[in-house]
Amino acid sequence: MKKQVPLTITFIVGVVLILSVFFPPVETWGEDFSLFFDIIAVFAFFLGGGNLIRVHTERIAKKKKDWGFSIITILGFLIMLAAGLFKLWNPGDISADVAATGSLFQLLYDWMFNPLGATMYSLLAFYVASASYRAFRAKNRDATILLIAAFIILLGRTPLGMYATGWIPESFSVLQIPNLAIWVMTSPNLAGQRAIMIGIALGVVAMSLRLILGVERTYLGMDID
Amino acid sequence: MDCTGKSQKYTYIAILTLFLSLLLIISSANAVNSEVLVEDTTSAFIPNAPTYVTATDYKYDRGESAIVKWQLSSDDNSTGKITGYEIFRSEADADNFVSIGVVLPGENSFRDKSTENGVSYIYGVVTLYNGRTSQMVLSEPITPGTEIVNWNLLNLFIIGLLIAGSVIFFITHAKRGKKLFIRKIAGLEAIDEAIGRATEMGRPILFIPGINDMDDVQTIAGITLLGRVAKVVADYDIKINMPVARSIVMTVGRETIKEAYVSAGRPDAYSDDMVHYITDEQFGYVAAVDGIMVREKPATCFYLGAFFAESLILAETGNSVGAIQIAGTAMPAQLPFFVAACDYTLIGEELFAASAYLSNEPKQLGSLKGQDVGKFMAMMAIALGVFGATIAEAWGGSFFIWLDEFMHRLFTITN
Amino acid sequence: MEVFGLWLAAFFTLGIISFLYKDNPWYKFSEAVFIGISAGYWFVVSFWDNLYAKFYLGVTANDDYMLFVGAVLGAMMILRLAPNIGWISRWPLAFVVGAISGFYLMNYFSSNVMKQVQNSVIPLFSADYGQSMFTESFGTIAGKIVIAAGTFTGLIYFFFSKEHKGAFGGAAKVGIWVIMITFGASFGYTVMSRMSLLIGRMDFLFGQWLGMIK
């Protein structure tokens, strides 16, 4: 029962949603499911939030390494919760928009959340440079091809590309870097993208069928051997 | 840094100024033209109405759509005399026409996507010209209805059945003892070695199941792989750390790792703290995982699931602490970064095949064979289609023209 | 207040950037704040947008009682905390996995297989009788041949059940080269956009905060 019921649920729900595409009266069941999922996720959030508080409270209680920062995390979490759920400093009342201008929720978002997220995102500039350095050492043929393609596209998006290859005669204009970059994006790049996408779709089909038919059960914690 | 930023900023400002200047010039030219148009409205021109307005139920939906068609107004002759057509709708037993859309000159159809199943409507179409309208021409009443089966998707059903059928066939006909050849996937072959390295170094394993929730098929693929990885981790008796960005994933991850430890005969070694929730926020999660990486210095990092821009941050930080990194995702935009920064990368389809590959079970491996049959069908369809289209385009021939049209129709989804 | 907010934003910006040098208390503090604030943010958004707007209003204002299915499944998920009946939490999980599998199977199949094959069926070249053999430029024709052959060989590379040997192996090798070109193109394409993110933060620090860029 404990094993069979979940597998049966997976099978029935999976088959119903596959077939619902072909029958207009039930074709929106997929969208209805995403509504259910949003509601399930909110309930699950209590588990996640509870875990967050428990982990950090334990760190504080046992005075583990960096336990002081756990106090900051819990404080930040509780303050943001209070600001949003009770709409503190909100110019309207409890029915107003949670992110109304001047509300504590909006201020915390503008002063802390936004700058922190934007700065983490901007670290990508440094990391892409270091990844490029490592990738462009071109240790094998595949890496060399990746390097050359990336170089062509990179140069093609800057004036340097035209400057470097502008001397190439018009009859061979496709070899000018900007034109070559466009050709690479619209031809081999498109071919590779298509092959990857078709492969992914077939992988999803096979994996979905394994899940629906109950052949794959590790997500339920079963048959791990 | 700031000099580069400054000069680039000034470059952007210069480009923006140039663009705005061009915009100003173009709009003043238009203003001259529009003055000419304004003069035109002083005449009492009333456009001719469209003719033969018909309305039909849009097939294979839930009665939510209707198609309105008409013959173009005689003034619709690309001289700019008219500005478009406006479509009105009223319920058949009421005379309350409301506007539901406007189309450009030259267009002779409109799809109304806001009808109600079983309710009768009458449509009217007028020709527009600078605030003036022609007489409204009405259609006969129609009642949108629901069709039980969407026959437009018959091709999708047949092709889907063929491919899904081949997968199911190989799953169900997989025979025990009959070895099915599966080519080596380097990233999956390296899992044992990577976990062994963690054992030797006495450092933990870090498992990242992606940034999305369980409503993403890639996350499910990552979790199925977690089961396989966790079993090896339990056998080797080393620590696994799995920070997650979604609460449901935390629940599933705990269930999976716990069962892995139970099946390895080490239920006492399992702890719920192995899987812990961080935050739903993408970059907050990454900040925390980066912190975990530099402080705990895992020997092996697994990135298996859906990733976005944070993929490179994770992979580069993992590199900086000297970890072996095995990544797998079906996000084409992130694959290049994983390929560049990680030791092994499962490219797209390989992520979904990984669990079957690691299980070594005939039924699961059979599904990989079915996948290959699907790829073969796609390749044959492309080859046949390109051949037919090329011959038809270059030299004609009724058979090839038919083949070209057939292949296009076969893979076109009409909705 | 504005000035305080500006300085706070600059403080956290520099705290995160300091991670590039090494892990330090400033980064740890910024990280701790980020985790707490962001977890709270998403809980609040989820509460008002999903639990209140979709579920509560859906039931009370729109009489959509089917939404109780989601609520019941969500409640079953929380039962995981109860040791004796924690196994019930597998049922909503099975529901989710089944629904996702079914939904995405058709979704991916129609958009990634049907659509891609449809777009791949193009003539490699066209001829004009009595005028010229080809009506398109060499580059265009070469591009179309590369697209068709590249897609073909790329799919060959992903074959699992056939060994990459002989002619098949050669085609698979060409396939991985095409895929590497794809990755290189993606890589090169995003480098500039990543740089613009950093420019944005530098503009904030040196422009808005320090006022050095006007």
A44 lies in some domain: yes
The rounded radius of gyration (Å) of the Cα atoms in chain C is 28
Q: What pLDDT, on the 0 to 100 scale, is given for residue B270?
A: 92
Residue B192: which residues within 8 A CB-CB, separation 6 or more? Answer: B232
Q: What is the pLDDT of residues B150-194, one digit of tens each?
A: 888 999 999 999 999 999 988 888 766 667 788 888 889 899 889
Do B349 and B276 sit in the same domain of this protein? yes
The average pLDDT across B309-337 equals: 93
**b (16+ CB within 10 A) / e for B130-154:** eeeebebbebeebebeebeebebbe
Enclosing domain of residue A167: 128-220
Pairing of strands B205-210, B240-244: parallel
C38 contacts A195? CB cut-off 8 A:
no
Q: What pLDDT, on the 0 to 100 scale, is given for residue C116?
A: 92
Q: What pLDDT, on the 0 to 100 scale, is given for residue B296?
A: 93
Query: Which of B71, B27, B64 has its CA nearest to residue B150?
Result: B64
Do B219 and B317 sit in the same domain of this protein? yes
Do A90 and A154 sit in the same domain of this protein? no
A14 lies in some domain: no
The average pLDDT across C162-176 equals: 90
- Per the CB < 8 A criterion, the answer to whether B105 and B48 are in contact is no
A82 lies in some domain: yes
- Cα distance between the two ends of chain B: 52
Q: Distance from C213 to chain A by nearest Cα, in Å?
A: 19
Q: d(Cα C23, Cα B217) in Å, to the nearest integer?
A: 35
C118 lies in some domain: no
C19 lies in some domain: no
Supply the CATH number for residue B297's domain: 3.40.50
Do B316 and B190 sit in the same domain of this protein? yes
Q: Give the best residue of B312, B369, B386 to mutate against chain C (max C CB count within 10 A).
A: B386
A51 contacts B277? CB cut-off 8 A:
yes
How far does CA A82 lie from the centroid of its chain?
28
pLDDT classification of B30: cutoffs 50, 70, 90: very low
Kindly tell me if the per-residue pLDDT of B39 is higher than 60: no
Candidate from A76-90, B68-82, B275-289, C104-118 with smallest mean pLDDT: B68-82
Q: Which residue has the tokens 């790329």?
A: C154
Q: Nearest residue of C to residue A74 by CA position?
A: C36
Residue A67: which residues within 8 A CB-CB, separation 6 or more? Answer: A59, A60
Q: Distance from C157 to chain B by nearest Cα, in Å?
A: 10
Query: Which carries the bigger pLDDT value, residue C153 or residue C135?
Result: C153
Do B129 and B217 sit in the same domain of this protein? no
Q: What is the pLDDT of residues C84-93, one digit of tens each?
A: 887 888 899 8
B312 contacts A218? CB cut-off 8 A:
no
Query: Which carries the bigger pLDDT value, residue B279 or residue A166?
Result: B279
Q: Which residues of A touch B280 (CB under 8 A)?
A: 48
A47 lies in some domain: yes
The rounded radius of gyration (Å) of the Cα atoms in chain A is 27
**b (16+ CB within 10 A) / e for C7-28:** ebbbbbbbbbbebeeeeeebbb
Do B253 and B317 sit in the same domain of this protein? yes
Do B121 and B219 sit in the same domain of this protein? no
Do B100 and B212 sit in the same domain of this protein? no
Q: Of A101, A125, A149, which closes a domain?
A: A125
Q: Which residues of A touch B62 (CB under 8 A)?
A: 24-25, 27-28
Q: What pLDDT, on the 0 to 100 scale, is given for residue B61?
A: 83
Do A101 and A139 sit in the same domain of this protein? no
Supply the CATH number for residue B83's domain: 2.60.40.10
- Per the CB < 8 A criterion, the answer to whether C214 and C203 are in contact is no
pLDDT classification of B27: cutoffs 50, 70, 90: very low
How far does CA B175 lie from the centroid of its chain?
36
Kindly tell me if the per-residue pLDDT of C34 is higher than 90: yes
Q: What pLDDT, on the 0 to 100 scale, is given for residue A224?
A: 53
Tokens for B116, please give them.
């109600």
Tokens for C17, please give them.
């950037």
Do A94 and A170 sit in the same domain of this protein? no
What percentage of chain C carries pLDDT values higher than 70? 96
- Per the CB < 8 A criterion, the answer to whether A90 and A100 are in contact is yes
Kindly tell me if the per-residue pLDDT of B14 is higher than 80: no
B235 lies in some domain: yes
Q: Which residues of A touch C209 (CB under 8 A)?
A: none
Of the partner residues B378, B390, B413, the one whose CB lies closest to the CB of residue C123: B390
Q: Nearest residue of A to residue B366 by CA position?
A: A206
Kindly tell me if the per-residue pLDDT of B35 is higher than 80: no
Total domains present in chain C: 1
Total domains present in chain A: 2
Q: Nearest residue of A to residue C193 by CA position?
A: A125
C143 contacts A192? CB cut-off 8 A:
no
Enclosing domain of residue C164: 134-214
Mean pLDDT of chain C: 88
What is the helix (H) or strand (E) element at residue C191, kind and residue range?
A: helix C166-203
B154 lies in some domain: no
The subunits that touch chain C, with at least 3 C-beta pairs less than 8 Å apart, are: A, B
pLDDT classification of B1: cutoffs 50, 70, 90: very low
The subunits that touch chain A, with at least 3 C-beta pairs less than 8 Å apart, are: B, C
Q: What is the pLDDT of residues B349-359, one digit of tens each?
A: 999 999 889 88
Burial class (CB in 10 A: 0-12, 13-18, 19+), B333: middle
B5 lies in some domain: no
Q: B37 at the C interface (CB within 8 A)?
A: no
Of the partner residues B250, B252, B315, the one whose CB lies closest to the CB of residue A48: B250
Q: What pLDDT, on the 0 to 100 scale, is given for residue C132?
A: 54
Do B81 and B228 sit in the same domain of this protein? no
C89 lies in some domain: no
Q: Of B107, B138, B169, which closes a domain?
A: B138
Do A153 and A172 sit in the same domain of this protein? yes
* The three-state (H, E, C) secondary structure of chain A, written as one string: CCCHHHHHHHHHHHHHHHHHCCCHHHCCHHHHHHHHHHHHHHHHHHHHHHHHHHHHHHHHHCCCCCHHHHHHHHHHHHHHHHHHHCCCCCCCCCCCCCCCCCCHHHHHHHHHHHHHHHHHHHCHHHHHHHHHHHHCCCCCHHHHHHHHHHHHHHHHCCHHHHHHHCCCCHHHHHHCHHHHHHHHHHCHHHHHHHHHHHHHHHHHHHHHHHHHCCCCCHHHCCCCC
A209 lies in some domain: yes
> If chain A, 225 residues long, is cut into consecutive pieces of 10 residues, what is the mean pLDDT of each piece?
86 93 88 88 91 94 92 96 90 78 90 93 89 76 87 87 81 82 91 94 93 86 60
B371 lies in some domain: no
B241 lies in some domain: yes
C192 lies in some domain: yes
Do A133 and A216 sit in the same domain of this protein? yes
Candidate from A84-93, A104-113, B203-212, C15-24 with smallest mean pLDDT: A84-93
Total Cβ atoms within 10 A of residue B76: 21
C152 lies in some domain: yes
pTM of the entire structure? 0.85
Query: Which carries the bigger pLDDT value, residue A225 or residue B311?
Result: B311
Do B195 and B125 sit in the same domain of this protein? no
Q: What pLDDT, on the 0 to 100 scale, is given for residue B19?
A: 42
pLDDT classification of B25: cutoffs 50, 70, 90: very low
Q: For residue B347, give the 3-state DSSP assignment.
A: strand
Q: Which residues of B touch C39 (CB under 8 A)?
A: 277-281, 284
Total domains present in chain B: 2
Kindly tell me if the per-residue pLDDT of B36 is higher than 50: no
Q: Of A125, A141, A165, which closes a domain?
A: A125
Enclosing domain of residue B71: 51-138
Q: Distance from A92 to chain B by nearest Cα, in Å?
A: 27
Q: Distance from C2 to chain B by nearest Cα, in Å?
A: 24
The average pLDDT across B92-116 equals: 91
Q: C35 at the B interface (CB within 8 A)?
A: yes
B401 lies in some domain: no
Do A138 and A159 sit in the same domain of this protein? yes
pLDDT classification of C137: cutoffs 50, 70, 90: confident
A185 contacts C32? CB cut-off 8 A:
no
Q: What is the ipTM of this complex?
A: 0.90
The average pLDDT across B221-227 equals: 93
Q: What pLDDT, on the 0 to 100 scale, is given for residue A191?
A: 94
Do B270 and B350 sit in the same domain of this protein? yes
Q: Of A99, A125, A151, which closes a domain?
A: A125
A12 lies in some domain: no
A16 lies in some domain: no
